[in-house]
Amino acid sequence: MSWASRRQAKYIFGITLFFLIVVGVPAAILLYKPPTCFDDKQNQEETAVDKGGPCLLLDERTLVPHAVVWSRSFEVRDGTYSAVAYIENPNGDAGVQRVAYRFGLYDEKNVLIAEREGITFIMPAGITPVFEGGIDTGRRTVARTYFEFIEPLVWERMQSKVGTLTIYNKDITDTTSVPRLTSLVRNEAVADIINPTFVAVIFDTAGNAFAASETLLPRIPAGEARELVFTWPDAFRYAVGRLDVIPYVPPALVLGN
């Protein structure tokens, strides 16, 4: 290669390098898109595409499975039942904002005699009670109750609000006439809790649930206590063993991860 050719090659190389630096680098910066939880890619320590790692959505494969501990119906009056299911979620930082469910009530011949659909959430780290009242069976007797989720569960990074609620002074009276359960609940948080729901379940001495009820409070101010009252229209048929009073409060999304 002649001297002139070498000089021309160096000149072209310099011009090219200049444009790569002056134009290419800013263009690359402008076109660069940092990884996010919505880019349809598995990056930034995610365990699935846009799930896990810093993302709000969680990869259900990394969670301890939830379980329907039991579901049961309780006759309130002839042909009218309440249904309850206990959903256990052992994951301390994972919950479900919204999921549809169905109760199916069957007679002794396994014939469906009533069903009820609804929407619930699943709280982290404990039992979420699902309650449905006033289910009409047309005076037919319920022998078995089946509970199922009718859409996929979407698990997200969440924090339970019920950990700040303390239930105490549970007392049940008039079990042979018009049963009444009272309890106190204290809000240990620094913020008010709005519209908390409470589900009471009564067990016999053998540990079998035989009655349930639900009540709602409009508000529990921070640091204060409120009374809970649950009633039933007819006498209990069994001796009372255990009393469950479980708060039911939508969990909070954990943002900023």
pLDDT in tens, 67-88: 999 999 999 988 999 999 999 9
Res. 256: pLDDT tops 60:
no
38 falls in which pLDDT band (50, 70, 90)?
A: confident
3-state SS assignment for residue 233? coil
With beta carbons less than 8 A apart as the criterion, state whether 211 and 236 touch. yes
pLDDT for res 257: 45
Residue 135: how many CB atoms within 10 A of its CB? Answer: 22
Which stretch of 27-31, 90-94, 102-106, 172-176 has the lowest confidence by average pLDDT?
27-31
For residue 4, what are its two tokens? 């002139």
pLDDT for res 11: 59
Sign of torsion over alpha carbons 102, 107, 110, 114: negative
Q: Do β-strands 94-106 and 112-122 pair in parallel, antiparallel, or remain unpaired?
A: antiparallel
With beta carbons less than 8 A apart as the criterion, state whether 128 and 87 touch. yes
20 falls in which pLDDT band (50, 70, 90)?
A: very low
3-state SS assignment for residue 150? coil
Reference 103, options 85, 86, 80; nearest CA is 85
Mean pLDDT of 208-215: 97
25 falls in which pLDDT band (50, 70, 90)?
A: very low
Q: Each residue of 35-59: b (16+ CB within 10 Å) or e?
A: eebeeeebeeebeeebbbbebbbbb
End-to-end Cα spacing for the chain: 60
Burial class from Cβ neighbours inside 10 Å (0-12, 13-18, 19+) for residue 216 reads exposed
Q: Side chain identity at 16, as an amino acid letter?
A: T
User: Can you give the pTM of this predicted structure?
Assistant: 0.85
pLDDT in tens, 105-143: 999 999 999 999 999 999 999 999 999 999 999 999 999
What is the 3-state composition of the chain as percent helix, strand, coil, each rounded to the nearest 5?
15, 50, 40
Give CA–CA dist 238/210, Å, rounded: 8
108-115 contacts at long range (C-beta below 8 A, 24 or more positions apart): 108/141, 108/143, 110/143, 110/144, 113/137, 113/138, 113/140, 113/142, 114/81, 114/138, 114/140, 114/142
Reference 137, options 99, 53, 80, 69; nearest CA is 80
- Higher-pLDDT residue of 145, 12: 145
